[in-house]
Amino acid sequence: MKGSLSAYIVATAMWLAACGAGSPPMPSPGGGQDVRLEPDTLQVRGVVPRSATLDAMLRAQGLADGASRRLIDAMRPVFDPRRLRSLQPFLLVRTLEGAFRHFEYEIDGDSFLRIVPTGFATDALRAEVLPIPKTLEHAAVSGTIGGDTPSLFQAMEAAGERPELSIALAEIFGGEIDFNSDLQPGDRFALAFERFRREGRPASYGLVTAAEFRNDGRLIRAIRFTPPGGKADYFDEEGRSLRRFFLRSPLKFEPRITSRFSSGRAHPILHVTRAHNGVDYGAPQGAPVVAVAAGTVVSATFDATNGRMIRLRHSSGYESNYLHLSAFAAEVRAGVRVEQGELIGRVGATGLATGPHLHYALRKNGAFVNPLREQQNLPPGDPIPASAIDAFVATRDMALGQLTIQ
């Protein structure tokens, strides 16, 4: 398998042969220059739109209705079309009239779906899930937050890496740094990570083995380590877990605090002064909202004041609330268990809201508390057990030696 390009070339060559493309060329009129023939197939590369069905996506790209249905039916034995994920790459080759010629969809970093005609004289299609050939390499990158790169995404892009690596870094330091509001000019980061070179496709990322972030004068380091009998996690240089009970924010990137916790605030719609029992984050419509800690869904409801609201119950008497959402995540319903950092909904402006934002509130033993202050006062997770310190130190020293510091 030579990747999507060679597969497309083979499929196109088969079609040209079936259409008699091997015949000698017709002489040009009057013995003049050759006549340029316009291609009669169209190749479309893109990513799956948000909230799109496969059928809608294919028809939006000009594939005929009948061809779209046949393609979906052909894939069902090997891939459930309901598993289609937004922002995953795809390739579609069709004729100018909308007839199907070739389709590929990247399922994940390891495999892709390919559908091709079994013969151009019939409508029969062959669907198969194939591995993506890849080679592992160990890499490192560093970058700086500054005037031209004020966000982590921009700084990572300037360093030559893709957004997925920014998301990984934000997840590692999510209990220590609020990437919405804590970044300062001059902050610097470095990561050592796995990169997979994939034949015919963009590279993908594996594990981040070590990372550091210099934020507002403080240095935070993270080393990936698996304690004996435990789960892999990230620890600081002394072996203390970086996983806090609560994340600094239920929004990963781009929002800003528009209203803080207060005993008295002028309500922007009701025009009365009353307590503001949470933090408002301004954020784009549809921005992902994640659980600040592991817990159980108490309710996912809608009312005229709070709009779409999710309540999560956590241990130690805590409950977190997320208001004015535009949508709930598909699996969120009362009684469902969610993990820290798991997607639970998306930012909206439902209920009494002047624009897209998230109202995030936290209760402790039934009383509202300031979520920003409460997070800072909570201790980190469990440290490395004494019996594993020597193994951790060896892993730490090797991993930190891989970091590139500019």
Using CA atoms, how far residue 341 sits from 50, 131, 252, in Å, is: 20, 29, 9
φ/ψ (deg, to 5) at 57: -65, -45
Q: Where in the chain is CATH 3.10.450.350?
A: 3-18+39-131, 134-235
d(CA 246, CA 227): 22
**One-letter amino acid for residue 98 of the chain:** G
CATH for 3-18+39-131?
A: 3.10.450.350
β-bridge partners, 140: 192
Cα–Cα nearest to 314, from 252, 383, 219, 244: 244
Give pLDDT tens digits along the chain (406 positions): 333 333 333 333 333 333 333 333 333 334 445 545 456 889 999 999 877 889 999 999 999 888 999 999 999 999 999 888 888 899 999 998 888 999 999 998 889 999 999 876 567 899 999 999 889 999 999 999 998 999 898 999 999 998 889 989 988 987 788 776 788 899 999 999 999 998 878 888 999 999 999 998 889 999 999 988 888 999 999 998 888 888 888 987 655 777 765 555 444 554 444 567 888 988 888 889 999 989 999 999 999 989 999 999 998 899 999 999 999 998 899 999 999 889 999 999 999 888 899 999 999 999 999 988 887 777 767 788 899 999 999 999 999 998 864 4
The CB density around residue 106, as the number of other CB atoms within 10 Å, is: 22
CATH topology for 134-235 is Nuclear Transport Factor 2; Chain: A, (3.10.450)
Residue from 155, 161, 139 nearest 207 by CA: 139
| Per CATH, domain 256-377 is 1.10.520.10 | no
Predicted TM-score of the model (pTM): 0.61
